[in-house]
Amino acid sequence: MSIKKLYNNILSSNLNLKADTLEYKKVRIINFILYLSVLINLLLIPDNINKGMVIYPIASAFVVIVGTIGIILLRKNLKNLNIVSHLSISVIYLILLPALFEGGIANSGFVWFALLPLFSIFLLQTQTGIKWVYFLLSTIFIFFLFADFIQIPYQKEYLIFLSISLVVETLFVKLLSDIQDAFVVTLRGKNRMLSDLAEHQDDEIDRRSVILIRQEQHITQKSKMESLGEMIANISHQWKQPLNRINVIAADVELSKVLEDDSVDPYEAIKDILKQTNLMQETMNDFLKFSSPNAKDKEFFIDNSITMMLSLIESSFYKENIELKYINNYKNAKIVGKNAEFIHAIMNIANNAKDALVINNIENPYLHINLEEKNNKIILTFKDNAGGIPEKIIDKIFEAYFTTKEKNGGTGLGLDLTYKVITENLNGKVHVKNENDGAIFTITLG
């Protein structure tokens, strides 16, 4: 781990906060105060004890304890931010308190004295922050009343000066806070004005926008229904064989009963029928997993996804006499994402290849799919012999609504969806090029 990464980890509590958020800035300031205070006071405790001081080592010990608790709480959960903010101000207060007894205000204690109003108002909002300042002022006032009984290395006039300075600085910090609040209010007002202006745009523009949205929804729904219809057709094709087998078994049992033939065992027949229905159930389960709208991001094996995709499209490829070949050279390839989205994305590539092979009436058509590892990356390729993609449009095929199959009802959304799923949802890359007698789609993940 680099020094810079370690430094950021310490100050940010490893909470993965966005750098432009207020919480991120507060966490870094709090951690800076706590880590610095704990480190310095750990070093000061033995030195102060050797010098015979009383208040400082006790206060330093409390600073170390309170600061450590604050660091632990903040690293566990961001919900502890408010509590840790109070602990941070307590640390500053514990440093200031002995400074009034031992004369540290003239040294580093004066820095913490100046920072108390600033940090308290910033970390705890104006009202709560000012209460902490009142608390310190009350402490100074108590010292002022008992200055004759307590050993304080200051004259009463100096305590008055400290109090006035604290009040003036607090008022100044509050003024800055009020200016910031006023700026935020003004900004929100302008945002509302812009929102109102946007809402009162020309009626014709609104009408056209509604029309375009409805057209887009209609096209998207049409694309979904086409994919769903194709998958249902594939399921129907896969169910034909077990259904035919069940019919044959039932006919054999019925015929054996009519002919009084004992060669057919009804128990074995029932077992065979159950086996066929299980195959049908597995096919339906695969379809339900694929079409589930409530899928969540999780880790999955790419080989399983490709196998499921092949089971959904192989019947349509078989119907067109297209060779569908899959080679897996990376058995343990896996990624995190929505499995159904990934299956839909690679199915679009496969179906586009099938359509091109059929439209171009290719002799000995094929689609070869290959999964492998290169340079610690997952590489998935789709190669066909459909003649390739014209160079003038090859850079446009991933654009929304771009299609070369208008006459066949193409929507131009399939490869656009593939591109978005791979690049945006899975942080991968997808590329296409022509090679020899066809096109090669390459998906890079990991």
CATH number at residue 365: 3.30.565.10
pLDDT at 292: 57
Percent of the chain with pLDDT over 90: 15
- The mean pLDDT value of the chain amounts to 76
Assess contact for 45 and 80: CB atoms under 8 A.
Answer: no
- 217 and 191 in a common domain: no
The pLDDT of 28-41, averaged and rounded, is: 82
- 368 and 255 in a common domain: no
Q: How many domains does the chain have?
A: 3
Whether 332 is covered by a domain: the verdict is: yes
Which range marks the domain in which residue 373 is found? 295-446
Please say if the pLDDT value at position 439 is more than 90: yes
Mean pLDDT lowest for which of 28-32, 218-222, 340-344, 369-373?
218-222
Local confidence band at 412 (pLDDT 50, 70, 90 cut-offs) = very low
Q: Residue 186: which residues within 8 A CB-CB, separation 6 or more?
A: none
- 234 and 93 in a common domain: no
Measure the CA–CA gap between 146 and 204, rounded to whole angstroms: 79
Local confidence band at 106 (pLDDT 50, 70, 90 cut-offs) = very low
Place of tokens 């600033």: 118
Whether 202 is covered by a domain: the verdict is: no
Please say if the pLDDT value at position 107 is more than 80: no
Local confidence band at 409 (pLDDT 50, 70, 90 cut-offs) = very low
Consecutive H or E run containing 76: helix 55-76
Residue ending a domain, choose from 196, 218, 247: 196
0.85 surpassed by pTM: no
Question: In this predicted model, what pLDDT tens digit does every residue of 244-262 receive, in sequence order?
Answer: 667 777 777 777 776 766 6
The pLDDT of 358-365, averaged and rounded, is: 92
pLDDT at 18: 78
Please say if the pLDDT value at position 383 is more than 80: yes
